Structure 1
């Protein structure tokens, strides 16, 4: 099977090549290219049986149709999320879509906690001040996490890892999920309104569906405690950004940490340092001193990249051998 990897970064190529050398994957031939997969670039897949894409790429109806015309039979998502994939169109055209459902929950949870600590204790500001020989403490005061209440929205593998981190900090942990996680015996499950009203820290760890699109909006923000810390390492559209900006302006949040945001498509993973941002919302978020923004890097650890590479190649090999391995996505 010939597979075209779109949007390849140096770390992708490094880890995939290391695993590709193993005998398990002798049926796979991989080619790496830099462009992201969109409707404009999909025809580059002509002559390939499979493509590999990431969470920031456009696999809507038009892209799927073009991939089908090129003879693509398999779409490999080297990530857990798939809200950017038109599964209905893929199913209609007989294209199999496979993903990496779990790679390193701890990688994302640890990054979420890093955002909490950085935004709360203003580590990013302290670093800049220190670099300029300014060792004053003005603007650097944080709050203790110990004894506070952490609200975890979504208690799957990543949310569970975050819950354990919060518990380790001596926090009371409450959770909201349609399915309770039996491994979290220290978590008290409550409804959504209680999470909003009782939490000093709210951390989002859920996939994006139509039902939870903009779940954090003005109405939800109004129900939160004053001085709450909000962190999102899941999907940008869980938060209505315009309402978040207004909440920050109104002083509702003590700190905000974002690894994902609505306007990230097209800029995430790219060097925009010599450009003027065309999105005013992102520019406003970056202007707030109590907001910490990172570039969708929660997955970026050695262990996570190894797991992503191995599972993606396992998925391709399973497809070649005509067997199911449970990572197939259904419409």
Structure 2
């Protein structure tokens, strides 16, 4: 069989290491491109059998058109999220598969790290001590024990975070359009509607995909319903939060702290070294001025365990497609989630209409 060729976009050194190691068991010919995939770069995929893309690649109509017209039938997303895929353009022409559960623990643990760092001002204390300043004024936090955490989305990541927060002795409220009551009974948590979660939670953590229904779920209106001084954590997708409304909430004191691993306009900055440049994004620049805001560069997934799982699952997805005419972890046009039905690569999915729920990534 002819060796299959994969065009790998937005490649970073850690990607190369993990995929080269995993590929020893598959034997694909992988060409790594540092550039992101979009309409101006898609021609680099000419002559390849598949493309491998990441969260900030743009899989819009021009990209899908080019791939389909050049006989490239599959996009292998090495991530869980898929809001960058134009499903209408891809449907029936280019299949998209993803990695639904690379390591829910990695993301949940990073969310916890954001909470602890913001609460106990670890980042400030670290910088103070390095400069010989051992004063502790201004570093007051709060006991997490006995406080209420609101977790939006109870998929694998949300459930992992819930276990961690309960270990701190926190009460947990959860929201999901499809609540798992059996899980709630086992874990001793309570499902509530979003307004109730917003009103009661001292800490809110978002673990849902970005869809038209969840875009800006944290906005000027919903922020007014939050508990005064709430800590907001987002390791999901940047577009879940209206950043300008977040800034207003921080300025007014309604939001006491924010930990963000994602940002709605992150594609021009995250994953890149911009330390020698001015930040032209005025909204991002304003966020960085707040002492009670902690931003990390979409690194919640970045553990050795997760990178191995991402590489293994991505290459297995491609193997199933190439060798078994099977679409494992396909993102279906109709249901916008991973398809659980085994079907041939040429058979469209006839699931129910598009899922409008708030579901957790993973």
Query: TM-score when scaled to structure 1?
Result: 0.97
The CA distance in 2 between the partners of 1:61 and 1:169, in whole Å, is: 46
Q: Which deviations, in whole Å up to 9, do the C-alpha atoms of 1:38-73 show, x marking residues without a partner?
A: 111100001001000001111111221122233321
Distance between the aligned counterparts of 1:325 and 1:108, measured in 2?
26
Match of 1:11? 14
SS at match of 1:248: helix
Moved over 6 A (4+): none
Residues 1:277 and 2:279 are matched in the alignment: yes
User: Which runs of 5 or more residues in structure 2 are unaligned?
Assistant: 334-362
- Deviation string 1:95-143 (CA, Å, 9 cap, x unpaired) is 1111001110000000000001111111111111111111111221111
1:146 maps to 2:148:
no
CA offset digits 1:189-241 (Å, max 9, x no partner): 00110000000010000001101110001111111111111100000000000
CA RMSD in angstroms, aligned pairs only: 1.1
SS of 1:247's equivalent in the other structure is helix
Is 1:91 aligned with 2:94? no
Q: How many residue pairs end up in the alignment?
A: 327
What is the Cα deviation at residue 176 of structure 1?
0.5
Instruction: Say if 2:144 and 2:168, in contact at 8 Å, map to a contact too.
Output: yes
1:120/1:254 contact within 8 Å kept:
no
Correspondence for 1:48: 48
- What SS class does the counterpart of residue 211 from structure 1 fall into? coil
With 182-191 and 47-56 compared, the bigger mean Cα shift is at 182-191
* Partners of 1:218 and 1:244 within 8 A in 2: yes
Post-superposition offset of 1:325: 4.8
Cα separation, 2, equivalents of 1:324 and 1:161: 30
Question: What does residue 214 of structure 1 align with?
Answer: 216
Q: Please identify, of 182-191 and 40-49, the stretch whose mean Cα deviation from structure 2 is larger.
A: 182-191
Instruction: Identify unmatched segments of 5+ residues in structure 1.
Output: none
- The CA distance in 2 between the partners of 1:33 and 1:76, in whole Å, is 15
8 A contact 1:43–1:70 mirrored in 2: no
Task: Give yes or no for contact 2:48–2:72 (8 Å, CA) kept in 1.
Answer: yes
Q: Indicate conservation of the 8 Å contact 1:46/1:71, yes or no.
A: no
CA distance in 1, matches of 2:259, 2:245: 15
**Cα shift readout 1:263-319 (whole Å, capped 9, x = no counterpart):** 101211000101111111101111000000000001000100000000000001001
State the partner residue of 1:113: 112
